[in-house]
């Protein structure tokens, strides 16, 4: 009998995180979700409320969860944006963005890797962004997402002999509440952004979830250290919108 996969997802209450939870649950995973907000819809697994920006709270929840569950998968999805021109970037905001993306990813992977190594099987998927290639007014966010790409390649090499693969997805504009909080529907800024996507539309969280789900499949077992752009074609050639405005 095939053992059920147990997968941890950060930032799981909505958007890409919630859609990924739904996708993996349909594939038979026991999904454990973490976020500071309670999901608006019934979560397809076990959900725990925690403020991951709190280092001690993160340490405590991970210690408790790893006693209850033998994880073999993780999706590092939690993050914030704080869009600002360089002259307005504050060190507090910069540290908050870097911390929530990178520190949390380090903590979660450190917590779950022992059980993955014991099983000689594991999947780590980091949610990066096309912003990691450089986007105006995203100094903090771009640095954080580029960091997630670097984590992916570095950890892939560290764990390659342990049966653990490490990959990343890098979306462009995805229709989520976070994105909507930055660009209002139909605004000139949103139209400008959409014009920079060769497919001419924003992506859906479910489309990113499917890409993440692929990396969890047995068929993807020979793929590690890769960045999969889920971006409507943006990464083929960076559109003028992303080069200058």
Q: What angle do CA 189, 190, 193 make, to 5 degrees?
A: 90
Residue 242 annotated to the active site? no
Number of neighbouring beta carbons within 10 Å of residue 161: 9
Alpha carbons 132 and 22: distance in angstroms, whole number: 26
Contacts of residue 98, defined as CB under 8 A and 6 or more positions apart, other chains included, come to 140, 143, 144, 147
Q: Which of 181, 220, 155 is nearest to 79 (CA)?
A: 181
Residues 6 or more apart whose Cβ sits within 8 Å of residue 143: 94, 97, 98
Per annotation, catalytic residue among 137, 141, 229, 242: 141
Active site residues: 141
């Amino acid at each position: 009998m095939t053992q059920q996969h147990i997968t941890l997802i950060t930032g799981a209450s909505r958007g890409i995180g919630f859609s990924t939870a739904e996708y993996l649950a349909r594939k038979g995973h026991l999904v454990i979700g973490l976020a500071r907000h309670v999901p608006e819809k019934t979560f397809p697994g076990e959900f725990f409320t925690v403020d991951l920006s709190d280092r001690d709270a993160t340490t405590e929840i991970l210690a408790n969860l790893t006693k209850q569950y033998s994880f073999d998968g993780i999706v590092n999805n939690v993050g914030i944006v704080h869009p600002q021109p360089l002259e307005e970037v504050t060190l507090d905001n910069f540290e908050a963005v870097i911390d929530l993306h990178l520190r949390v990813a380090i903590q979660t992977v450190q917590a779950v890797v022992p059980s993955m190594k014991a099983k000689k099987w594991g999947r780590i998927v980091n949610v990066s962004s096309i912003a990691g290639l450089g986007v105006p007014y995203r100094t903090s966010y771009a640095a954080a997402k580029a960091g997630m790409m670097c984590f992916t390649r570095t950890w892939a090499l560290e764990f390659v002999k342990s049966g653990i693969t490490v990959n990343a997805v890098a979306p462009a504009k995805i229709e989520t509440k976070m994105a909507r909080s930055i660009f209002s529907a139909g605004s000139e800024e949103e139209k400008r952004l959409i014009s920079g996507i060769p497919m001419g539309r924003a992506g859906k969280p479910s489309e990113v979830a499917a890409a993440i789900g692929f990396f969890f499949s047995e068929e993807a077992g020979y793929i590690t250290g890769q960045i999969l752009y889920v971006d409507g074609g943006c990464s083929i050639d960076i559109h003028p919108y992303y080069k200058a405005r």
